Amino acid sequence: MTATDKIRETIMTLRQMANDLEQLIEAQSPDLEAVTSPGDWPIFDPELDAVPPGITPGPDGNRLEKDWCSAILWGLLRAHNVRQGRGATDAEALEIARAAGYSDRRGWNKWDGWRKDEDGNLWCTDVGIKNAADWFARIKRSLPEDLR
């Protein structure tokens, strides 16, 4: 590969990075950037609402994608606990972790804020509930009333 080929390859990579960044900027509503009061943030139901276009939640993404990953993880566990009245089974915890962008259930290992009950099912603790609220604040969204 010649030096010119390497330069062209670098230019193509940088163009793709720029396109990815532009998509992220477009995905963030300009109205949300001006919103500073949590009471004005749109409600995002992690079980029902789709992540904005251009954002792929995941632990290895950019800052916005990591924030969405964490919000989805905690929001879905909280929703499961509240709406189903029980802890998440191992299979359900895996499904939640994957929805948040983790490849497997080990995504839970890095977090404090959950506990297992006597049946081995996953529950949000008070720390987990605070985690959900904190991560939703980072993405400027509000949890539905029943999940707060």
pLDDT at residue number 1: 84
At 12, the amino acid letter reads: M
Stretches in the chain below the pLDDT threshold 70: 18-38
Taking the C-alpha atoms of residue 86 and residue 101, their distance in angstroms, rounded to an integer, is 23
pLDDT at residue number 17: 72
Domains of the chain by residue range? 3-147
SS3 24: helix
pLDDT at residue number 121: 98
pLDDT at residue number 25: 62
pLDDT at residue number 124: 96
